[in-house]
A and B are shown apart, each in its own frame.
Chain A
C-alpha cells in the first residue's frame, strides 16, 4: 500500500525539472531513490552501478541484493551519503528538492526527475542514459517507452469503465492527473473519474455509486478482495455488490517504468477475462 502512497507522491509534484547539468565522467556509484528509476537503471545495464536503493525497490530481483538506504520518504541523507555515491537520482518533489540541495552541499551530484505521466518515462530514461554513459541502450528503451505512451489503443469490443480506489475512508480515487488513468485508457477502459483533473482526490461514496463503474480497481499485494468490500455502505456501489474487483499488483501497476507496457497488457487481459488473474 505504500506503493499507493508513492503513486500519490508521484502525483503531488508537478514542477518542472531544470535540464540536468552533466559535465563529468559517467556515474559509477548510483543511489536510486524511486523504484521506477531503479528499474530503468537495471534495464539499461547500469544495475551493477546501483549501490543504494529504497526499501520499495523490489524489481528486478537483482535489485534486492543492493543495500537499502531506507524508505526514501524523505531520503535519509546520511544513509545515502554513507554509500559514497557519485550520483543520486531523486523523484522531483518538494522534500526531495531539499534533500538534493543538502546532498549537493556535501559534494554529491544529484538529479531530480519528473515521473508523473507515461510521457515522462522517455525523457527520464534518456537523462539516466546520459549520466551513466549508456546512451544507446537508454535510447532504445526510451523509444519503446515513448511508443507505449503514444500508442492509440484499438477500441475494445465494449468499453468497460472502472474506478481506482486508493483508500476507502474517506474514499480517495485516481483522477486524470495520474498515470494510472493513462494505463486504463491504453488498456481500453474508461476511468469514471477522468473529469477530476487532480492525480487523486477525495470523493463521496455516492458519487462512486452514481457513476456506477463496471470495475473497482485497487492496487493490492494479495489476491483477497479489499476489506471495505464487506462494509454495508460500500454495497451501494454495484461493482462492489457484484464483486467486480480488479486486483492490480502494486509492484507492477504502482509505478511507471520499463514494465508499463506489460501493465497495460495485463490490465487488458484482466478486463477481457472478467477480472481473474
Chain B
C-alpha cells in the first residue's frame, strides 16, 4: 500500500512535469512538441535521477555518521564544486561540458581532502572528523572561490555563483544519459551495504561484533554517497533539503531497514525534486524560481513538523 502510494506519487509528478509548463502546448501536440521532447522530458528525468541520488546519498550518510542532520552537501562537496566551476571560468576553459566537468572534479578534490582528513591519526573515518572536515574543507573552498571572484577581472566569474544555484535549467538528453549510466554504480554499492548499514546504527563496536567489516563499509558508503552527490552537483548545482528531508520521511514510513529505506528514499527524492521543479517552472510563469528555493519551501516546514514529533515523542 505504502509502495503503491509512493510509486503513484512519483508517476503523477513525472506526468505533471511533462504536461505542465510555462509554454502552452496543446494536449494533442504533447507527443510531437519539440519543447516537450527536448526540454520537459529530459528535465523531468534528470530531476528524478538527481533527486533520487540525493535522497539515497543522504540516507547513506546519515546512517554512516549517525547524525540526523547529515546532508550530502554538508561534506564540503558544494564548496569544491563551486571552486571547480569558478576556476574553469577564470582559466577560460570553454566547451559545453566545461563547467559540469570542472565542478565534478572540484567536488572530487574536496571529497579526497575530506576523506584524507578522516583517516588522520588512525581516525578510520570517525563520523565527527568527517563532519568537521567536510565543513572545514567546504568553508575553505568557498573562501578561495570568493577570493578569486573578487580579485579576478573576468566579469563572468560573478555569474559562477548563479551557475552553482542554477538547478535543472541545463537539462538535456546528454545529461540524462550521463547520469543514467553513472548513478547505478554508486547506487548499487549503497544498496549492497544495506545490511551493514543497519548494524552500524547500533554503534561501530556492536556492528563489528555482529560481523560487519566496519572500516570497509564506512569507506564504501562514504565514497559512493559522495560520488552520487558530486554528479548531482555537476549537472544541477546545489539543491538543498532533498538529501536531508527525504531520508527522514522515508524512515518514518518504512522504518530503519536500509534494504527498503534506500529504494524508498530514491523514489521519494526523485518524486519530490520533479514536483518541486514543476512548481518552480510554473507558479510564477513566465518567470522561474530557483528550484532550491522550492525544495526548501517544501522541505523546511516538513522538517519542522518532524522535529516537533521527535521532541514530543
Contact = CB atoms under 8 A, between A and B. Distances in A.
Interface string A1-31: 1111100000000000000000000000000
Given A2-B155, A201-B287, A209-B39, A169 B23 contact: no
22 contacts: A1-B159, A169-B163, A169-B170, A170-B166, A170-B167, A170-B288, A170-B290, A195-B286, A202-B289, A202-B290, A204-B21, A204-B22, A204-B39, A204-B169, A205-B169, A206-B22, A207-B22, A207-B286, A227-B95, A227-B96, A232-B38, A236-B38
A202 B155 CA distance: 19
A193 B95 CA distance: 28
Contacts of A227: 94-96
A203 interface: yes
A231 interface: yes
A200 B159 CA distance: 14
A196 interface: yes
Contact of B35 (A55, A198, A206): A206
Given A169-B166, A169-B169, A230 B288 contact: no
B303 interface: no
A230 B35 CA distance: 17
A233 B35 contact: no
A233 B172 contact: yes
A233 B94 contact: no
Kindly state the interface size class of chain B when it binds its partner: 35 or more
> Interface residues of A toward B: which range?
20 to 34
A203 B38 contact: no
A81 interface: no
A99 B250 CA distance: 50
A202 B285 CA distance: 10
Interface of A: 1-5, 55, 167, 169-172, 193, 195-196, 198, 201-207, 209-211, 227-228, 230-233, 235-236
B258 interface: no
A198 B286 CA distance: 12
Most-contacted residue by chain A among B99, B166, B174 (CB, 10 A): B166
Given A170-B288, A210-B24, 12 more contacts: A169-B170, A170-B166, A171-B169, A196-B286, A202-B287, A202-B290, A203-B22, A206-B23, A210-B23, A232-B38, A232-B172, A233-B170
B156 interface: yes
A218 to B, nearest CB: 12
Contacts of A209: 23, 34-35, 39
Interface of B: 21-25, 34-35, 38-40, 42, 94-96, 99, 153-156, 158-159, 162-163, 165-167, 169-174, 281, 285-290
A1 B159 CA distance: 9
A89 to B, nearest CB: 22
Interface centre among B42, B159, B174, B285 (most CB of A within 10 A): B159
A70 B305 CA distance: 49
Contacts of A231: 96, 170, 172
B286 A232 contact: no
B31 to A, nearest CB: 16
Q: Which of B96, B99, B289: most chain A CB closer than 10 A?
A: B96
B96 A230 contact: yes
B155 A206 contact: no
Contact of A203 (B24, B155, B173, B286): B286
Contact of B159 (A167, A205, A230): A167
Contacts of B159: 1, 5, 167
B267 to A, nearest CB: 25
A205 B35 CA distance: 9
Contacts of B22: 203-204, 206-207, 210
Contact of A205 (B39, B154, B162, B174): B39
B136 to A, nearest CB: 29
A209 B21 CA distance: 12
A236 B166 contact: no
B141 to A, nearest CB: 21
A7 B42 CA distance: 33
